[in-house]
Structure 1
Amino acid sequence: MRNNKKPDVSRVQLHSEDNKKKHVLSWIVSIVAIVVVIAASYSAYVYFKAKNAVDQTYDPSNRVEIKSGEFNGKKNFAVLLMGTDTGALNRTEKMGNTDTMILAVVNPKKKRYSLMSIPRDTMAQMVGASKFEVQKINAAYSIGGAKMAMASVSKLINVPIKYYAVVNMGGIMKMIRYVGGIDVKPTLSFEYGGYRFKKGQTTHMGGAGALAYSRMRYDDPEGDYGRQKRQRQVITTLIQKAVSVSSLSNLDSILESVSGNVRTNLPFSALQQIAMNYRKCANSSKSDYLHGYSVEIDGASYQVQPTKELQRVSDYVRKELGLQQEVVNNNETYQNQRNVADGFSFTSTKTQKYKIYDDYTEEGDY
């Protein structure tokens, strides 16, 4: 395992992004919604091709009941967004770990959406495992699929999660090639994978270049969070390019990329409603992330989230969903209490060893 950067004990505040930036509702849901937008703008022939492509992204094994009016433009909802660059999503064997996990929360009353990043190295209980098991949160998808990933994040921050979307970043890079590349202004200067990027200088990127730009992690002063920013930047730029008239000549290839590299339990009808009824939410957003401490667990580097930080994030997300606040009481808060009792300090600037006590119960017997 690679070591994380030194722990940052500062508390991260929510920050609003410039409303003038052309953000989309969310970076993965919009990949799927791309074909909905195209279908709404062009012929019936294109509509049915788009519907067929989106239908192939649908995951019936994680089907949930969608009540009438659930996406009527007035109700809040959340989607767990996951990114992986391991293979195509239509292959039969187990997928790898998720490189990116973001909880997107849409709040129509405030006409905005929030993106809450979950660092990939976050210590978490694998909810739904056959026995008590603690891993990095990014392992949940490879162990128990989307169901375990949703359940584990839900339990971690005590919020209900019904919907998910996962995208294979490698496949999305193919789409970039099909639309003729994208123009991006790098957020920082660096070299990676044989490519050089200069901060603020508009750079034309093909699929390989965009993949290199979005993958770099360890030379970014913001670490994994900085990488997630760049991934969102690449995806939102791709969305704008893909729905342009100039891209229609490669429509078949674009739709093939979507159908082969995206999985979601949101059906075509729901995505249509989201695209039509929540457009005003796309103009304003907030971005935040769970901010923890670098620790060592059994010789491997992890991020452990302080109980106060879990509570802060839970309070914010529940408020955005229109839910009452509740005290977070889970395996992570239990492990924190036991470790603090044994001398662990969340104010220390040194990387400390953290112990997992396997006698946690659902009731939190402490």
Structure 2
Amino acid sequence: MLTGRYDNSVVKETLLDPAARQERGDVTGPLNYLLVGSDQRAAAGPEADQRSDTIMIAHLPAGLDRAYLISVPRDLLVEIPPAPASGYPGGPDKINSAFQYGGGGQGGTRLLSATLTRLTGIRFDGAALVNFAGFQRAIDLLGGVRMCVDTPVRSIHTKTVFNPGCHQMDGAQALDYARQRYDLPNGDFDRQRHQQQLLRAMMDKVTTTDMLRNPLRLDQVIRAVGSSFTVDTNGVPLEEMIFAMRRIRSDAVRGIQLPSRSEMIDEVSYVLLEEPANTLFDSMRNTDLDSWARDNPKWVNRL
């Protein structure tokens, strides 16, 4: 079965800190998964600049027929727990620093998960560490994705100008666009929304084309995605997770911006939580995120 081959194609590691792990081994909703994106998978030591580029929590309500993507700002000021293995004593810093202080890779994701649990009170049902190089190849094997640009933006990496309108993008273009945060009206908050859009666009391509009926092409995509993922399934076989989430369609994916604001502290730019964040975390723990989204439309992203 393809699901079995996929299970064998991904790297499995312990990505969740014990304090951040949900103590159950099933796929009965609601579920919360930690998604971390980085350019490097392997640890290169705490002195290397390995800050996580993307941090998301995927929340699946009880019916497992829809999903919320909650983006965590990379500059969010948090209290990071100590990391004895790397010698980091703990303290206040930007949340994406937790990945670096944990040594990147497996250790970095564990420290990041512990930081998020301390902040939110949420324990995770699993985690995935994504390497962007493999992700780019997966988008190309999908035949590219359709991304809608709402404001002109020039890439700081390639100098490409992304003009307003809906465009078909290959893997390099889509990832380049989704990682821009400069010269955008809302800076990093727009970048978070664009990354949510990219995940939805990939889901849309899989579910609206003949991909599921083309075993050879599907197998290529599965292997490309698998090569870019390190996962912690919390003891659940990966094929069971895939089967349990089979009813989620791209139009049932919604994006959430973590209620927060930017602020300069000692000439350093940070992001600070705003009051609705506490009720968001409560809703995620108490399985009522649908109601929170209806009551807080300001923080729901249009994907």
TM-score after normalising by structure 2: 0.75
Q: Structure 2 stretches of 5 or more lacking a match?
A: 103-107, 290-303
Shift of 1:128: 3.5
Once the two structures are superposed, the pairs formed by residues 148-167 of structure 1 within 5 Å of their partners are 148-167=111-130
How far apart, CA to CA, are the structure 1 residues paired with 2:65 and 2:203?
20
Corresponding residue number in structure 2 for 1:93: 44
1:128-147 aligned at under 5 Å gives the runs: 128-130=82-84, 131-144=89-102, 145-147=108-110
Which segment is superposed worse, 164-173 or 246-255? 246-255
Query: What is the alpha-carbon distance in structure 2 between the residues aligned to residue 155 and residue 65 of structure 1?
Result: 14
Match of 2:160 among 195, 198, 203: 195
Per the TM alignment, residue 249 of structure 1 is displaced from its structure 2 partner at its CA by: 4.4
Check conservation: 2:59, 2:68, Cα contact below 8 A: yes
Deviations 1:303-328 (A, max 9, x none): 1224x344232222223279xxxxxx
Q: Give yes or no for the alignment of 1:271 onto 2:238.
A: yes
The residue identity in structure 2 corresponding to 1:305 is L
User: Given that residues 57 and 258 in structure 1 are in contact (C-alpha distance below 8 angstroms), is that contact kept between their aligned partners in structure 2?
Assistant: no
Q: Residue 320 in 1 paired to residue 287 in 2? A: yes
SS in 1 for 2:52: coil
Task: Indicate how the Cα distance of structure 1 residues 227 and 114 shifts in structure 2: closer, same or farther if over 3 A, else same.
Answer: same
Instruction: Give the partner amino acid of 1:191.
Output: R
Amino acid at match of 2:238: L
Selected match of 1:118 from 69, 72, 80: 72
Asked if 1:224 corresponds to 2:188, the answer is: yes
Equivalent of residue 270 in structure 2, options 290, 302, 321? 302
- Which residue does 2:292 correspond to in 1? none
Looking at structure 2, the residues matched to 320 and 139 of structure 1 have their Cα atoms a distance apart, in angstroms, of: 29
1:79 maps onto 2:33 in alignment: yes
The aligned residue for residue 257 of structure 2 is 289
Q: Select which of 164, 168, 173 maps to 1:209.
A: 173
Q: 1:108 aligns with which of 42, 62, 77?
A: 62
2:163 is aligned with what amino acid? K
CA contact (8 A) 1:78 1:321 kept: no
Superposed displacement of residue 173, structure 1? 1.0
Match of 2:140? 177
Identity of aligned residues (%): 23
CA contact (8 A) 1:170 1:211 kept: no
Amino acid at match of 2:134: G
| AA of the residue aligned to 1:93 | A
Higher relative contact order (CA 8 A, sep 6+): 1
**Cα offset for 1:278?**
3.6
Pick aligned residue for 2:13 from 59, 68, 88: 59
User: Structure 2: how far apart are the matches of 1:245 and 1:112?
Assistant: 19
AA in 1 matched with 2:194: R
Cα distance change on mapping 1:183 and 1:253 into 2, 3 Å: same
Question: Structure 1 residue 138: deviation in Å?
Answer: 0.9
Equivalent AA in structure 1 for residue 160 of structure 2: Y
Runs of 5+ unmatched residues, structure 1: 1-43, 323-366
* Alignment-derived partner of residue 327 in structure 1: none
Counting matched residue pairs gives 268
**Equivalent residues of 1:151, 1:161 under 8 A apart:** no
* In structure 2, C-alpha distance between the alignment counterparts of 1:279 and 1:253, rounded to whole Å: 19
SS at match of 2:191: helix
Does the residue aligned with 1:304 lie in a helix, a strand or coil? strand
Q: State the partner residue of 1:19.
A: none
Is the Cα–Cα contact under 8 Å of residues 113 and 284 in structure 1 kept in the other structure?
Answer: yes
Deviation (angstroms), 1:122: 0.4
Partner Cα distance (2:64, 2:143) in 1: 36
